[in-house]
Structure 1
Amino acid sequence: MKMNCGRLISGGGRMLRQLCTAATRLGQPEAKRSANDVRLYRKLSAVNMTGRTVSQTLDQYILEGHVLRKDELQRCVRELRKYRHYRNALEIMEWLKVRGTAFSATDFALHLDLVSSTKGVAAAESYFNGLPLRAKNNFVYGTLLNCYCRGLMEDKALALFENMNELSFLTSDLPFSDLMRLYMRLGKPEKVPPLIDNMKQRKISMTAPTYHIWMNSYASLNDIEGAERVFEEMKKEDADKINWLTHSNLAAIYVKAKLFEKAESALKMLEKLARPQEREAYHYLLSLYAGTGNQGEVYRVWNYLKSVPSVTDMSYLTMLQSLRRLNDIEGLAKCFEEWKSNCISYDMRLVGTVISAYLSQDLCEEALSVFEEAIKRREGKGPFAKTHETFILFYLGKRKEELAVHHLEAALSEAKDYDGWSPSLEVILAFLNFYEEKKIDGAEKLRQIFKNHNFDDHCLQVDFSADVHSE
């Protein structure tokens, strides 16, 4: 079998010859390449635990005699990005770039997105400005627009959107849906319908997610009938695009409006369209039935989900969150014990949900017991910062400053091991409000705590000089 060696990646001529020889000799069938994908992804997703960099891992992989292809690495990048391992995904892209690998338009767009996710929008702008003109197509422009919208940069997003219009790059609903999401996040749902009108004038087809945002814009304006009109238009114009997510979206609107009978009707349609292997659909069913307060349906769906082989941590997490919403503490404790008896790794998301549920019922001792067990099971290896924040908010609400500060200091001490973490805005504002009530300079007190733990207060996402009630 002849193979194009130019599509193989290496760190040098010797490695490239080694790779070409191995590929020709083995003539890898598709199944083998698939197994190779899995093996490679596992190595790359574990680099943080091995102490190696992505580059070192890839170079070693080649020296061990493995064939390494660009398409395999691209699949790894997509998987790492999917699970928010943005930094590792970016390092793969940069490793490819250093080796002179030819990038397609989608590669440039993906690289730009990863730069934004790891280094911020300013770095993404710099990357965009440094690209050759030929690389700046509608995909790359659209990715930068998405970065602006995620960063809630309305003025920059609108300016770029107009630039894309001048370049005739507004050919799909993606740029429009990005702006719609921006407006929804900014609390400006009234600006969504005019964008829909603009799309219709341009005869741009809508995808299901765009219909969903349009429905949600009316719901945010307390116009449930408007949301229902969008659904009816979707049935009339694009019935083939209606899926279980559409009914989930409609059910969520009804739940928020406390129209529980309509919500359950939509959930029945959701269940009809969902395939047995689509776990996410059943996760939505659990959450939304919990929203209606229908405990019986929550357990019915859960029992069905457990009948499907290999119940995942995400399934248990969703069920625990649903039971918390129902204030079913007894059921939550039982579900948590069931998960613990079968879990492979001790997922702190589930621990955090249980602790939050216990604290919401003032069951502080039970919450602390769960946290202490988690620390032992994980052998002291975090991340525990989010859990510390849960205790901080609880103790500040109970006016127990010493205990709240204890958990803040514990989180700050761990921060050096988890790059990118900083106290949430909710936690900072809670401290500032607490100290303001006590007539204490809260900003200065927090700065001193950060200084004691070598924590840079500039990375906090709050202006200490601002009115703490501005939120």
Structure 2
Amino acid sequence: MASRSLFLSLRWRGSNCSSWSRLLSSGTATTEYVDEYPNNSETDDLRSRIFRLRLPKRSVTTVIEKWVGEGNPVSISYLRQISKDLRKSQRFKHALEISEWMVSHEEYKLSDTDYAIRIDLMAKVFGIDAAERYFEDLPPTAKTSETYTALLHSYAAAKLTEKVEELYERIKESDLSFPALTYNEIMTLYMSVGQVEKVSSVVEELKRQKVAPDIFTYNLWISSFAAALNIDQVKRILDEMRFDSSCNDGWMRYINLVNVYVTASRLANAESSSPIETEKGITQREWITYDFLVMLYAGLGNKDKIDQIWKSLRMTKQKMTSRNYICILSSYTILGHLKEVGEVIDQWKQSTTTDFDIYACNRILSAFADFGLTEKANDLHLLLIQRNCSPTKD
């Protein structure tokens, strides 16, 4: 899509650009940069000067203006790269200042991606409401699939289900074409808040719009049925993937791996020493999650394989999340292995995980209650409170 400027009129610029500039600069732009510039030209570049601004309150705008005032050129591609590096370092306020500087100089023609990044930064620096206002104030030509998806991502990251669904309806009513990424955002939200039954309807809409699903679409779709232990539907999706014209070698590795765990006869006879060995050569973007494998084995009643996967996962350098613990606890509970349930809770107590999915935590507490595991429920509830998680408990 062709590049375009957000600021199509001086009036729009005056009412929005200046206000964001004041928020970003905080009135201290002329005194915040105190570092000495090195004389060595090889190390004195714009990126280095900006990265020496360690405190968020310091002004990137001042640094860029000084750089340009010294007669140095600065291209939009260079500014984009600096902004990308700042975002990787989670220096979102400084990255947003670069975006603001680009917007305020009409010689720079911003792309749809620039606008989308700006919305994401608005949400991170000023909050969801600011990002929402910014998006709504955009002229119609700037409301593209990328900016819609950026706002959708901000809503989904904050688990604002109602706002996601409202924006989703606007997306469906628009004349724009959206990529699989947009639908994946919605499915990811539904998975994270426990509304797995809604995932299939999103896939149906994606297909109705003739959008090609990607590996993440299939992974989320498969995982939604795995969470419900619907193995037959998992097999059906794998069959569909085989006939997908866009399926490449990476997808086939993914399909073949999942088949090892889905086909009961092969599960019973599998002798591989570790799931990790099976997954060698498959990238992080392609291989099925451990949680999914655990759920499949729980559905097949194979405790030995669950033990093996859990041991393998604990031996990796991967940081555990509450989802990992909830998944293994659910599986052992379903199979009636209460000794292992207690061991996993003890392992969770000794972990350093700070990521908690409140919806999943509530579900496992309810499951403990349904199974009459009052002591285990109390232990887990106490653990969650100690980790500053606030589950509801009957």
1:193 is displaced (CA, Å) by: 1.4
Identify the residue that residue 110 of structure 2 maps to in structure 1: 103
| Partners of 1:47 and 1:57 within 8 A in 2 | no
Identify the residue that residue 317 of structure 2 maps to in structure 1: 319
| Partners of 2:56 and 2:91 within 8 A in 1 | no
Distance 2:51 2:383 in 1: 32
> How many pairs were matched up?
288
1:291 is displaced (CA, Å) by: 8.3
Distance 1:431 1:298 in 2: 24
| Partners of 1:218 and 1:226 within 8 A in 2 | yes
| Partners of 2:180 and 2:214 within 8 A in 1 | yes
Distance 1:87 1:245 in 2: 42
Aligned counterpart for 1:185 among listed residues 181, 186, 192: 192
Identify the residue that residue 92 of structure 1 maps to in structure 2: 98
Distance 1:128 1:430, change over 3 A: same
Identify the residue that residue 73 of structure 1 maps to in structure 2: 79
Identify the residue that residue 145 of structure 1 maps to in structure 2: 152
Distance 2:286 2:75 in 1: 34
| Partners of 2:275 and 2:309 within 8 A in 1 | no
Superposed CA offset, 1:116-145 (max 9, x none)? 122221111110122122211222222222
| Partners of 2:276 and 2:312 within 8 A in 1 | no
- AA partner of residue 430 (structure 1): I
Distance 1:119 1:249 in 2: 45
Identify the residue that residue 120 of structure 2 maps to in structure 1: 113
Distance 1:52 1:264, change over 3 A: farther
1:72 is displaced (CA, Å) by: 0.8
* Structure 2: runs of 5 or more not aligned: 1-40, 295-304, 325-345, 355-380
Superposed CA offset, 1:324-347 (max 9, x none)? x9xxxxxxxxxxxxxxxxxxxxxx
Residue 170 (structure 2) pairs with residue 163 (structure 1): yes
SS at 2:317 equivalent: helix
Distance 1:81 1:225, change over 3 A: farther
Distance 1:160 1:267, change over 3 A: same
1:44 is displaced (CA, Å) by: 3.2
1:298 is displaced (CA, Å) by: 8.6
- AA partner of residue 197 (structure 1): E
Superposed CA offset, 1:393-446 (max 9, x none)? xxxxxxxxxxxxxxxxxxxxxxxxxxxxxxxxx99972699xxxxxxxxxxxxx
| Partners of 1:244 and 1:271 within 8 A in 2 | no
Aligned counterpart for 1:360 among listed residues 350, 355, 369: 350
Identify the residue that residue 172 of structure 1 maps to in structure 2: 179
Which one has a larger percent helix, Structure 1 or Structure 2? 1
Superposed CA offset, 1:273-298 (max 9, x none)? 45xxx9x999x99xx99986479989
Distance 1:212 1:76 in 2: 33
Superposed CA offset, 1:149-175 (max 9, x none)? 222222222222222222222442222
- AA partner of residue 137 (structure 2): G
SS at 1:139 equivalent: helix
Aligned counterpart for 1:215 among listed residues 222, 225, 229: 222
- AA partner of residue 104 (structure 1): S
Deviates more, 1:58-67 or 1:69-78: 58-67
Aligned counterpart for 2:247 among listed residues 214, 219, 240: 240
Give 1:66-465 correspondences, 5 Å limit.
Answer: 66-100=72-106, 101-238=108-245, 240-241=247-248, 243=250, 247=254, 267-268=276-277, 270-273=279-282, 293=308, 319=317, 321=319, 360=350, 430=385
| Partners of 1:234 and 1:242 within 8 A in 2 | no
Residue 392 (structure 2) pairs with residue 469 (structure 1): yes
Distance 2:139 2:126 in 1: 21
SS at 1:205 equivalent: coil
Distance 1:37 1:109 in 2: 31
Distance 1:36 1:234, change over 3 A: farther
- AA partner of residue 385 (structure 2): A
Distance 1:160 1:293, change over 3 A: same
SS at 2:61 equivalent: helix
Distance 2:308 2:349 in 1: 21
Identify the residue that residue 16 of structure 1 maps to in structure 2: none
SS at 1:237 equivalent: coil
Distance 1:227 1:189, change over 3 A: same
Superposed CA offset, 1:197-248 (max 9, x none)? 2222332211111111111111111224433432332233156345389749
Distance 2:248 2:142 in 1: 32
Superposed CA offset, 1:251-276 (max 9, x none)? 7x969xxx7959978655532345xx
| Partners of 2:222 and 2:234 within 8 A in 1 | yes
| Partners of 2:196 and 2:224 within 8 A in 1 | yes
TM-score under structure 2 length normalisation:
0.57
Distance 2:123 2:261 in 1: 35
Residue 60 (structure 2) pairs with residue 54 (structure 1): yes
Identity of aligned residues (%): 25
| Partners of 1:245 and 1:281 within 8 A in 2 | no
TM-score under structure 1 length normalisation:
0.49
